[in-house]
Structure formats: structure tokens, C-alpha cells
Amino acid sequence: MAFSSTMLLCGEGTTMVSERVHQSSPTIWLSALFCAAALAGILLVRRDIRTFYAFLLAVTGSVMVMTSVLKAGGMPLYYAGTVVIFFGVWLNSSLISVLKKAGILPASRLIRVPSK
């Protein structure tokens, strides 16, 4: 606050722009490591076709996170990518059963054939 006030009073009318950039090496490496761990976790727990969709969601989220870290996309892009990765992992694990219990998806019914 004091710095910006001093710049305003003594800066001869110049405009100063400040921008946060998260391009440090540890941030890049840790983000890449956690994205790779999420993708590997999805691939190690293979389900039916939902593993493919979960992997696509997690790849999309990883691209969003890495774009935010490398190209200064900002914190909203970073957090949006994190949420997309979370939904990809959740889709591969238990999202379908949660949606069925909530009544959003129809419950699958087993048809029993009487044996002779």
C-alpha cells in the first residue's frame, strides 16, 4: 500500500503493472509430478469405458494446470484444472454410484433368469 501510494505521488503519472507469475522450477516440477500421479492412478485402476473418459478429463485438467503454471494463465485456470482432475479421478472411482444413489442416474436393474 505504501509503495503504490509513493509511486502515485512521485511517479510523474506513470502506470505500474504488477502480475503474478508462478514459473518457478519447483512449482513446475511439483505440478507435473502431481498431474502425472493422477494420470497414473487412473490408468492403474482400470474400469470399463469410464476409465477412458476419466483419463480424458484428467488430461484436460492437467493441460489446464500446466498451461497456468508455464504460460501465466492465472489462478482461476489453475484451480479449474484441479477441479477437472478431481472429477476425472472421481469418475473413475465412485462418481457413478454416487449419482445413482442421488437419483440423478437410473439404477441398473439385474434381470434374473430362472434356472431349470
Q: Which residue has the higher pLDDT, 17 or 41?
A: 41
Over the chain, what is the mean pLDDT? 76
Contact 63, 14 (CB under 8 A): no
pLDDT digits (tens, 9 = 90+) for 50-104: 888 888 999 999 998 888 888 877 788 888 989 998 888 888 887 667 667 667 7
Contact 92, 52 (CB under 8 A): no
The span from the first CA to the last CA of the chain, in angstroms, equals 84
Question: What is the structure's pLDDT at 24?
Answer: 74
Whole-structure pTM over 0.75, yes or no? no
